[in-house]
Amino acid sequence: MCGIVGYIGEGDIKGFLLEGLKELEYRGYDSAGIAILQNDNLHIAKAVGKLDNLIQKSKNIKTKGFGVGIGHTRWATHGKPTELNAHPHQGVFSYVVHNGIIENFKEIKAQLDAQFVSQTDTEVIVHLFEKYFNQTKEAKKAFEQTIKRLKGAYAILLITKADPNKIFFAKKGSPLIIGKNEKEIFFASSDAPLIGHAKEVHYLEDDEWGVASAHTMELYKNGGGKSKLSFQPLTIDKEYAQKGGYRFFMEKEIYEQSDVIGDTMMGRVEEGDVHFEEIEEGFFDGIDAIKICACGTSYHAGLSGSYLLQRLARIPTSSEIASEFRYKEPILRKDTLFIVISQSGETADTLEALKMAKAAGLKTLAICNVDNSSIVRLADRTILTRAGIEKGVASTKAFTTQVMVLWMLALLLAKQRATLTQEKIDEETKAMLQTPKALKVLPQLHERLKRLSKRYLHGHGFFFIGRDLFYPLALEGALKLKEISYLHAEGYPAGEMKHGPIALADPELFTIALMPRTLLYDKIKSNVEELSARDSTICSIGHEWFELADDFIQIRRWTHPMLEYYDMSVVLQLLAMEIAIRLGNDVDMPRNLAKSVTVE
Ligand code: M6R
């Protein structure tokens, strides 16, 4: 996740670029940069950290009259957040900003004899463009040839002294919008930077590319002919734009999951194989056990991961709540890999647990969403979840991407430890590649949950129950509900209900039963029957119709438990959100909570 902006016109170029980047800062803020071209004069500034640093660094840039400019705010995927890795990237006479991941950048890089200065995937774009330009002497042709070579996801803006008054643009997978008024042309990753500037906007489709100048705009389809521009009035206000039209950031983030899970996998998963660029061969040598430590939702992801690591890689794995772990005088053995999971990378208890593990000489690995955070800086290795900034206090996309990283890790270790056949690895990777589908919110499902939510606003509590992998998911479903609805909810292992909690069963006790058809279906069915027999109100979530359920939420038919897991995750998140909305709560900022808990 990064944000990009562009400008063509005679107005305040620098002002638009910097203000636009401010609007997009939520998409990433580990570094930022701008490049402005006025005839042959180039002004470029880059800075690490928040946008304010770039504002300071670009103070001396003064522009007057016509020019073109591009800007970028970065969320590192390849290469550390340094000034050299910050965009715009430059060749000899051209400059580029890019949001996305170029999957085949290594292959392209190997074929270019340009001078590379960054560790990013993006830099190949500008060198490739210049190579083609030097051959054809035609900027448009060179840009078209460049785009044809790129695999992966991108929104690209490129300016060049070879054809100085234009912006070359392309989109695939990552968002890009063109805006215009009578005098100026704008580009941005979302509507927000365009509000107050553009009167009309065109939302680019995947595989579209083109070239814009002050007076002309050409649009093409990659591999096809011309495409049609269809500008529409821009009428929305700022807050609406930031939320992408959703009522809450949480809702936007739930809907985003099906895209961001693709970012989590990008360049890491293909059919039959999983790898992480961040982890060198041999890193796991000598590891015979794994301990996972985290808080809240991240702990639930970790607990899910412990089932996956044990099952797939046959490696003893335990998952612990960081605040408990710290004071129990844990026995830490050097053959144990210590994994910490954190969305923010700043959670105090998780950070302290990591320090303890490091002090005991364990190998450490962070699974984190925020590059350059305290946890990332301290851990030996980090796998970034690439979920993009999560604004809702109730974690959603951070959770599903954390679980994905753990699933991939389990498979990588299974491969290294030869605990699975290639056939089984193929099966797992095929399922992974289907997760974007499983996380897709179906409108009819959302509608059903909206309606259903009105029946769950009272009562004396909720039990979310599940077995195996669906037990941590039940914990997560309960946490989601309690933190935003303020209703009492507990997650419980379904088989454990009869050891005490079943005493609470009555019609005012709501049981949310996770009933996957692919994992222990008959077992969970018996547990739910026991509750139904004691008159608990049952809401079952699964594919198979369950006759004893008072309410039934049907998910799609999947053949892999993890796909059922992901489908159900969305159901639980939406259900909690709809109940909280009906209760009139501020879903994004629930009472008494903070997004990042940096105190013990
Ligand atoms: O940033 P972290 O993942 O370390 O945060 C851990 C918890 O504070 C966090 O998951 C919290 O439980 C969320 N509000 C849950 O939605």
Average the pLDDT over 108-134 and give the result. 93
Number of other CB atoms surrounding residue 443 within 10 Å: 7
Distance of CA 60 to the CA centre of its chain: 36
- Look up residue 375 and give its DSSP letter: H
The alpha carbon of 242 and the centre of ligand 1 are apart by a number of angstroms equal to 22
* pLDDT of 555 strictly over 70: yes
The ligand 1 atom at the shortest distance from the C-alpha of residue 395 is 16
Residues with a catalytic annotation lie at 2, 595
The alpha carbon of 234 and the centre of ligand 1 are apart by a number of angstroms equal to 36
| 352 CB burial (10 A radius; 0-12, 13-18, 19+) | middle
- Using one digit for the tens of pLDDT, what is the confidence trace for 477-498? 999 999 999 999 999 999 999 8
* pLDDT of 600 strictly over 90: no
The ligand 1 atom at the shortest distance from the C-alpha of residue 297 is 10
State the average pLDDT for the chain. Answer: 93
- Provide the total of helices (H) and of strands (E) in the chain, helices listed first: 18, 26
How far apart are alpha carbons 10 and 2 in whole angstroms? 26
Using 50, 70 and 90 to split pLDDT, how confident is the model at 100?
A: confident
**Residue 28, pLDDT score:** 67
Residue nearest to atom 7 of ligand 1 (CA): 296
DSSP labels, 55-121: HHHTTT----SSEEEEEEEE--SSS-S-TTTSSPEE-SSEEEEEEEEETTHHHHHHT--S---SS-S
Average the pLDDT over 351-378 and give the result. 93
Average the pLDDT over 504-509 and give the result. 88
- Using one digit for the tens of pLDDT, what is the confidence trace for 13-36? 999 999 999 888 767 667 899 999
**Residue 260, pLDDT score:** 92
The alpha carbon of 596 and the centre of ligand 1 are apart by a number of angstroms equal to 7
* pLDDT of 371 strictly over 90: no
User: Lowest mean pLDDT: which of 239-243, 245-249, 427-431, 574-578?
Assistant: 239-243
> Please, what are the domains in the chain?
3-242 (3.60.20.10), 246-433 (3.40.50.10490), 441-600 (3.40.50.10490)
Tell me, using a 6 A CB cutoff, whether residue 73 lines ligand 1: no
Q: Is the dihedral of CA 431, 496, 464, 598 positive or negative?
A: negative
Q: Give 47 or 1, the one with higher predicted confidence.
A: 47
How far apart are alpha carbons 557 and 11 in whole angstroms? 55
Using 50, 70 and 90 to split pLDDT, how confident is the model at 77?
A: low
Q: Give 571 or 596, the one with higher predicted confidence.
A: 571
For residues 182 and 19, is the Cβ–Cβ distance under 8 A? no
User: Lowest mean pLDDT: which of 272-276, 374-378, 479-483, 579-583?
Assistant: 374-378
Average the pLDDT over 48-75 and give the result. 91
Using 50, 70 and 90 to split pLDDT, how confident is the model at 240?
A: confident
- Using one digit for the tens of pLDDT, what is the confidence trace for 331-357? 999 999 999 999 999 898 999 999 999
**Residue 298, pLDDT score:** 98
**Residue 375, pLDDT score:** 93
Taking each helix axis from N to C end, the angle separating 296-313 and 470-485, rounded to the nearest 10 degrees, works out to: 170
Tell me, using a 6 A CB cutoff, whether residue 297 lines ligand 1: yes
Residue nearest to atom 14 of ligand 1 (CA): 394
* pLDDT of 404 strictly over 80: yes
**Residue 25, pLDDT score:** 78
Using 50, 70 and 90 to split pLDDT, how confident is the model at 391?
A: confident
Q: Write out the H or E segment, with its range, that includes residue 351.
A: helix 348-359
Tell me, using a 6 A CB cutoff, whether residue 347 lines ligand 1: yes
Using 50, 70 and 90 to split pLDDT, how confident is the model at 460?
A: confident
**Residue 78, pLDDT score:** 66
Tell me, using a 6 A CB cutoff, whether residue 394 lines ligand 1: yes
For residues 308 and 407, is the Cβ–Cβ distance under 8 A? yes
- Amino acid sitting at position 247: R
Tell me, using a 6 A CB cutoff, whether residue 395 lines ligand 1: yes
**Residue 331, pLDDT score:** 93
For residues 542 and 518, is the Cβ–Cβ distance under 8 A? no
The alpha carbon of 300 and the centre of ligand 1 are apart by a number of angstroms equal to 10
* pLDDT of 68 strictly over 90: yes
Tell me, using a 6 A CB cutoff, whether residue 295 lines ligand 1: yes
- Using one digit for the tens of pLDDT, what is the confidence trace for 154-192? 999 999 999 999 999 999 988 899 999 999 999 999 888
How far apart are alpha carbons 189 and 203 in whole angstroms? 10
Residue nearest to atom 11 of ligand 1 (CA): 296
- Using one digit for the tens of pLDDT, what is the confidence trace for 516-530? 999 999 999 999 999
Residue nearest to atom 4 of ligand 1 (CA): 342
